[in-house]
Amino acid sequence: MILAQTTEPFIRWNWVWSHLDMIWGRTVQHLALTGIALGVGFLISIVLSMIALRYRRTYAPITWVTGVLYSIPSLALFVMLIPLTGLSVTTAEIGLVSYTLLIFIRNIVAGIDGVPQEVREAALGMGYTRRRMLLEIELPIALPVVIAGIRIATVTTVGLVTITALIGLGGLGQLILDGLNRLFTTPLIVGSVLSVVLALLLDGVLVLVERALTPWARRKATIG
Amino acid sequence: MIRLDHVSKVFPGSEKPAVGDLSFEIPAGEIVVLVGPSGCGKTTTLKMINRLIEPTSGEIWIDGVKASAEDPHLLRRKIGYVIQQVGLFPHRTIVQNIATVPSLLGWERERIEPRVSQLIELVGLEPEVGDRYPAELSGGQQQRVGVARALAADPPVLLMDEPFGAVDPIVRARLQDELKLLQARLQKTIVFVTHDIDEAISLGDRVALLNVGGVLEQYAPPEEILRAPANDFVVEFLGSERGLRRLSLISVDTIELEQGPVVTPETTPEQARAVMDTHDVDWVGIVDDGRLLGWVWGAELAHHATVGELEPRPFSAKLSGDSTLRQVLNAIVTSKTQMAVIVDGDRYRGMLSAERLNEALLS
């Protein structure tokens, strides 16, 4: 056996070709787990950010709690949740969502705090209501900072999803775990490389989205 | 018309009022400038008109309606608002910025577009700037956009909070002149806040001079404030150049001109010398059939039969009837003849001396 392993090639392409369907399935699952985590995390963060912005005193406790969540080792968090929610998508998502909150909330609040005071005064002075000002003036101006947060959260979540392989999910993480368990490098490499590619790809898409949504920020940069 | 009726404002946590029991009227179609030292409550007063700050007591009436009776957001859409830092929306183009209030009011697109083009032209901007973002414009251009945005829905009232305070002096002077021209066409009721007394005198139909704590020390046309300051505070605030500032408000047309030491080209040297003696000068101006030819030194007259034989020197400073007395004074102190010559085209109208200005101020 040990002799046989030394002759094992770094990557077996015929394994890759024969398992394309499975690899594709894992990739889709990986994307789905990432997407749900980011979507749910963002919605919760928007609500918490609005509370923090409206009632300033709540900002410190909100960042403290989300900061504690952020610092729990992911492995420990999933294991702690198993008695409550079992080996389920819910368990995975509770963990994944928890890790996005601090990043999202920090960036949303910082982005809106960064809106110049005179812009707010002009908006109110011309008859904007607070709600409309938030939606039409403050959030659009905060967008570059918010998207910067989404990019960090996305790359982080794509990486964290692989850990959920330990509770039976994991997307591409399954391939990595499989490779580790069987000391079989091909799935290990395929899972790792695709996970990195996925992170870079999503980050690239977000850069394009940001450029499309904030043409004004780019022109400002070229003016200096 | 805007009427402040015993308006006061005490900010929470402060014992002294920022504005204390202020009452005055701002007539429709006039520019009223609120001026005073920092802490005099001029900006607070302005912001109480569009309810960005709510008065602690008292009432503000705008065209016969209580400001407090209206929804503040709807009220503000009817009042133009320009601030020092402009506050353009960085994520919107110039066209979109100017269209802000019409959009809030729910105007149709077909109505907004021509209105915005009209405003871009009105404030003296090139049409090409419409598609740019605020960060791509200079400070002066941004403030023009700020004014256009405030005028977009054609509000009868315009509130301007130190609008030209952040631009350099040359641009500021130009924007002030443009505002005067704009106002001559639009006849808005404008409340203008500044800490610059010269700006107040230059722009205001009336000036409200406020002291610390929002106390109204004097409310009058600028000419009256300079001529008859109500108290020591006003005198001190007007500063040591009060007389010069007054001169800048009086136009040549409002005072009587002197004939001045002028003669026709046919005049003999003896007659000319008599005219010079009467005026106690050593030069004489030459006027031919109402046209001003120039002037010659008395010493040059010897050995000539008539004044017209000499080559006249041009007057260095000729002023027209709409010049201010301050410009006249400048001409007097910078000319060899120590007289300002007033012409209407090439027609000679008369002269002004420093003594005459002195009489005009003291009358």
Whose CA is closest to A44, among A95, A102, A114, A85? A102
* Residue B179 amino acid letter: L
Q: Give the model confidence (pLDDT) of A118-146 as tens digits.
A: 999 999 999 999 999 999 999 999 999 99
Complex confidence, ipTM = 0.82
Among B75, B84, B91, whose Cβ lies nearest the Cβ of A214? B91
B220 and B184 assigned to the same domain:
yes
Using an 8 Å CB-CB cutoff, list chain B residues near A119.
87-90
Residues B239 and B354 in one domain: no
Mean pLDDT of A177-200: 92
Report the distance separating Cα B206 and Cα B200, nearest Å: 9
pLDDT at A224: 40
- A118, A216, A217: residue with CB nearest B83: A118
Q: Which helix (H) or strand (E) holds B283?
A: strand B283-288
Count of structural domains within chain B:
2
Domain C-terminal end among B246, B263, B292 = B246
- As a whole number, mean pLDDT of residues A183-206 equals 94
| B100 with A126: Cβ contact below 8 A | yes
Contact criterion met (CB < 8 Å) for B76 and A125? yes
Cα angle vertex B77, ends B73, B78, to 5°?
A: 120
Residues B273 and B162 in one domain: no
Task: Determine the distance in angstroms separating the CA of B153 from the nearest CA of chain A, rounded to an integer.
Answer: 11
Last residue of a domain, one of B202, B226, B246: B246
CB contact under 8 A, B104 and A128: yes
Q: Are residues B212 and B276 in the same domain?
A: no
- On whether both B228 and B325 belong to a single domain, the answer is no
Contact A126 B81 (CB under 8 A): yes
Where residue B308 sits, what CATH number does that domain have? 3.10.580.10
The residues facing B324 across adjacent strands are: B251
CB pairs under 8 A between A and B: 77
Asked if A144 is an interface residue toward chain B (Cβ–Cβ < 8 A), one would say no
Closest residue, chain A, to B137 (C-alpha) = A223
Q: Determine the distance in angstroms separating the CA of A119 from the nearest CA of chain B, rounded to an integer.
A: 4
**Using one digit for the tens of pLDDT, what is the confidence trace for A75-86?**
888 888 889 888
Percent of chain A residues topping a pLDDT of 90: 71
Domain coverage including residue B102: 2-246
Alpha-carbon distance of B59 to B51, in angstroms, equals 11
- Does the pLDDT value for residue A2 go beyond 70? no
> Under an 8 A CB cutoff, do A220 and B87 touch?
no
State the CATH number of the domain containing residue B147. 3.40.50.300
Which residues in chain B touch residue A214, judged by CB atoms under 8 angstroms apart? Answer: 91
- Report CB contact under 8 Å: B50, A125: yes
Looking at the fold, whether B225 and B309 belong to one and the same domain comes out as no
Query: What pLDDT, on a 0 to 100 scale, did the predictor assign at position A1?
Result: 43
> Is the CB of A220 less than 8 angstroms away from the CB of B136?
yes
Residue of A nearest to B77 (CA): A127
| Shared domain check, B210 and B92 | yes
Contact A125 B81 (CB under 8 A): yes
Q: Which residue of A has its CA nearest to B53?
A: A125
Q: Which residues of B touch A219 (CB under 8 A)?
A: 132-133, 135-136
Claim to verify: residue B207 and residue B86 sit in the same structural domain: yes
Same domain, B72 and B152: yes
Average pLDDT, integer, range A184-210: 94
CB-closest option in A121, A124, A216 to B90: A216
Nearest of A59, A64, A37, A33 to residue A48 by alpha carbon: A59
d(CA B269, CA B299): 10
Contact A122 B83 (CB under 8 A): yes
- The CA-CA-CA angle for residues A165, A170, A171, to 5°, reads 140
The two three-digit tokens of residue B186, written as one number: 């639009």
Interface test with A, best of B48, B89, B138 (most A CBs within 10 A): B89
- The secondary element (H helix, E strand) that includes residue B355 is helix B354-362
Query: Among all chains, which residue has been given the structure tokens 């910067």?
Result: A148
Q: Which residue of A has its CA nearest to B131?
A: A216
Predicted confidence at residue A199, as pLDDT, reads 96
Domain boundary among B183, B214, B246: B246
On whether any CB of chain B is under 8 Å from the CB of A124, the answer is yes
For the cut 50, the answer to whether the pLDDT of residue A49 exceeds it is yes
Say whether B85 and A118 touch across the interface (CB within 8 A): yes
| Other CB atoms within 10 A of residue B204 CB | 22
Q: pLDDT tens track of chain B, all 363 residues?
A: 999 999 999 999 988 999 999 999 999 999 999 999 998 999 999 999 999 999 999 999 999 999 999 999 999 999 999 999 999 999 999 999 999 999 999 999 999 999 999 999 999 999 999 999 999 999 999 999 999 999 999 999 999 999 998 888 888 998 999 999 999 999 999 999 999 999 999 999 999 999 999 999 999 999 999 999 999 999 999 988 888 888 988 889 888 898 889 999 999 999 999 999 998 888 999 999 889 899 999 888 888 889 888 899 988 778 998 899 999 999 899 888 788 899 888 789 999 988 888 888 887
Whole-number pLDDT of residue A9: 78
Q: Which chain A residues have a beta carbon less than 8 Å from that of B76?
A: 124-127
Identify whether residues B232 and B346 lie together within a single domain.
no
Domains of chain A and CATH, by start:
24-219 (1.10.3720.10)
Q: How far is CA B27 from CA A117, B75, B203, B219, B225, in A?
A: 32, 19, 15, 12, 18
Residues B171 and B107 in one domain: yes
Closest by Cβ to B76, choosing from A126, A143, A216: A126
Cβ–Cβ below 8 Å for B76 and A118: no
Rounded to a whole number of angstroms, the distance from the CA of A224 to the nearest CA of chain B is: 9
Cβ contacts of B73 on chain A, cutoff 8 Å: 127-129
Banded model confidence at residue A152, pLDDT cuts 50, 70, 90: very high
- Does the pLDDT value for residue A3 go beyond 60? no
Chain B interface, best mutation among A115, A134, A216, by max B CB count within 10 A? A216
- Closest residue by Cα to residue B47 from B78, B9, B85: B9
Q: What is the pLDDT of residue B241?
A: 86
The partner residues of B159 in beta bridges, in order of sequence, read: B81, B191
Residues of chain B neighbouring A126 (CB-CB closer than 8 A): 76-77, 81, 100-101, 104, 149-150
For residues B263 and B235, membership in a common domain is answered with: no
Q: How far is A204 from chain B (nearest CA, A)?
A: 23
Distances in Å between the Cα of B223 and the Cα atoms of A57, B205, B228, B250, B270 are: 53, 9, 8, 8, 45
Closest chain B residue to A118, measured at CA: B87
The beta-carbon neighbor of B89 closest among A129, A137, A220 is A137
